[in-house]
């Protein structure tokens, strides 16, 4: 399924012919080539985040429905939802000539348990035999997938993420540092970095596990907010910080820092998994190694004390974010699909 912006996935099938999955501002140009799988949008309206739920019969039902309908299309684009995984295995087991399938948003980090890691490696290697293109969001992620999961480089396609901001929040120069998001965030590092600083820090997170056994200093405020308030807080910040965990195969965070950049905010990103492919450190943002509170503290202090630097960096960030638009994402995705089809045709699939 293809993913378009934040929110619930929507599915597509294309006349390059595709099936995809994300609710959001689908571009008319893309929908000339792609078609939503009937009923999929309504399914996600009823069940917004199936990845957080147990396996359901509906997952098997949707995979079989996609398997049957996909023969009418030249290609399929999916995310890494459960039914998309089952669809890929159905193609592997039941079709000699598979419908070309691109899978996006494969956040394949390695589990801690050796057994779980082995099982995941087997799953991903099998998927790489069925899926024609596994789409990654940085060259670093591509290299790590090749090294760790032993996925052939020819199966991997690079597609940078894009700014997803759809809420019109007035941008003002606020008096606080903002950080937000879940899953791969290292808020312990951020809290240590800002402890004792004379700056207000607002962290917007749904999960509270990050803050267990931490002493929260008086200048740090932790909130849980909806999408509109999240955007408002970001638009009102002086500095936006995205502290990511190190040593991951996919650390994410692109949506947060690209949205902040599109608002003209100076961003500080602690990351070792591809942020430097989006941000030129010192020019349109600052990229630091993860897990380094002293360096993060100094970067925050610098942007607060040097207002001219912060404003220049914010202007540069806004210009840079224009390179990561939703329009370019859709265009590049279509290029990947067309390249995939040409490759399959020359290999003898002739879809």
Instruction: Give me the tens of pLDDT residue by residue for the chain, a chain 351 residues long.
Output: 333 333 333 345 554 444 444 444 455 556 566 777 777 666 666 654 544 555 677 778 888 988 998 888 888 888 888 888 999 999 999 998 999 999 988 889 999 899 999 999 999 999 999 999 999 999 999 999 999 999 999 999 999 999 988 767 778 888 999 999 998 999 999 999 999 999 999 999 998 888 999 999 999 999 999 989 999 999 999 999 999 999 999 999 999 999 999 999 999 999 999 999 999 999 999 999 999 999 999 999 999 999 999 999 999 999 999 999 988 888 898 889 889 988 876 776 555
Give the strand pairing for 176-180 and 200-204.
parallel
Q: Which pLDDT score, from 0 to 100, does residue 3 have?
A: 33
The kind and range of the H/E element at 36 are: strand 34-36
> 137, 251 in Cβ contact below 8 A?
no
Q: Which pLDDT score, from 0 to 100, does residue 284 have?
A: 97
Q: Which pLDDT score, from 0 to 100, does residue 31 have?
A: 59
Domain residue ranges of the chain, discontinuous segments joined by +: 12-162+326-347, 176-324
Q: Do domains 12-162+326-347 and 176-324 have the same CATH topology?
A: yes
**Report field, pTM of the whole predicted structure over 0.85:** yes
CATH class of 12-162+326-347: alpha beta
CATH architecture of the domain 176-324 equals: 3-Layer(aba) Sandwich (3.40)
Return d(Cα 257, Cα 245) in angstroms, integer. Answer: 15
Return d(Cα 328, Cα 258) in angstroms, integer. Answer: 14
Q: Which pLDDT score, from 0 to 100, does residue 6 have?
A: 34
Task: Please state the separation of Cα 42 from the chain's center in Å.
Answer: 23
Q: Which pLDDT score, from 0 to 100, does residue 55 have?
A: 63
Report CA-CA distances (Å) from 287 to 38, 125, 255, 271, 303. 43, 32, 15, 7, 13
């Amino acid at each position: 399924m293809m993913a378009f912006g934040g929110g619930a996935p929507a599915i597509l099938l294309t006349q390059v012919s595709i099936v995809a999955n994300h609710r959001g501002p689908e571009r008319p140009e893309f929908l000339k080539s792609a078609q939503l799988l009937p009923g999929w949008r309504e399914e996600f309206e009823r069940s917004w985040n199936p990845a957080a739920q147990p396996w359901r019969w509906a997952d098997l039902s949707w995979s079989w429905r996609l398997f049957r309908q996909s023969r009418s299309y030249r290609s399929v684009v999916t995310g890494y939802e459960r039914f998309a995984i089952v669809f890929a295995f159905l193609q592997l087991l039941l079709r000699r000539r598979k419908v070309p399938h691109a899978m996006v948003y494969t956040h394949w980090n390695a589990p801690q348990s050796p057994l779980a890691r082995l099982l995941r490696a087997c799953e991903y290697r099998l998927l790489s035999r069925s899926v024609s293109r596994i789409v990654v969001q940085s060259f670093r992620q591509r290299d790590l997938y090749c090294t760790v999961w032993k996925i052939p480089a020819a199966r991997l396609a690079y597609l940078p993420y894009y700014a997803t901001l759809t809420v019109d929040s007035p941008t003002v120069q606020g008096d606080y540092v903002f950080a937000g998001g879940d899953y791969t965030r290292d808020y312990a590092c951020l809290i240590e970095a800002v402890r004792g600083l004379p700056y207000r820090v607002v962290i917007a997170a749904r999960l509270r596990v990050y803050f267990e056994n931490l002493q929260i200093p008086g200048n740090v405020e932790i909130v849980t907010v909806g999408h509109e308030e999240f955007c408002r807080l970001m638009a009102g910040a002086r500095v936006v910080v995205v502290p990511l965990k190190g040593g991951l195969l996919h650390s994410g965070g692109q949506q947060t820092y690209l949205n902040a950049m599109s608002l003209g905010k100076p961003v500080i990103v602690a990351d070792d998994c591809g942020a430097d492919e989006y941000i030129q450190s010192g020019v349109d943002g600052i990229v630091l190694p993860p897990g380094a509170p002293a360096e993060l503290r100094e970067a925050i202090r610098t942007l607060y004390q040097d207002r001219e630097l912060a404003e220049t960096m914010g202007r540069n960030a806004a210009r840079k974010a224009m390179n990561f638009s939703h329009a370019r994402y859709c265009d590049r995705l279509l290029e990947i699909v067309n390249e995939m089809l040409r490759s399959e045709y020359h290999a003898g699939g002739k879809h």
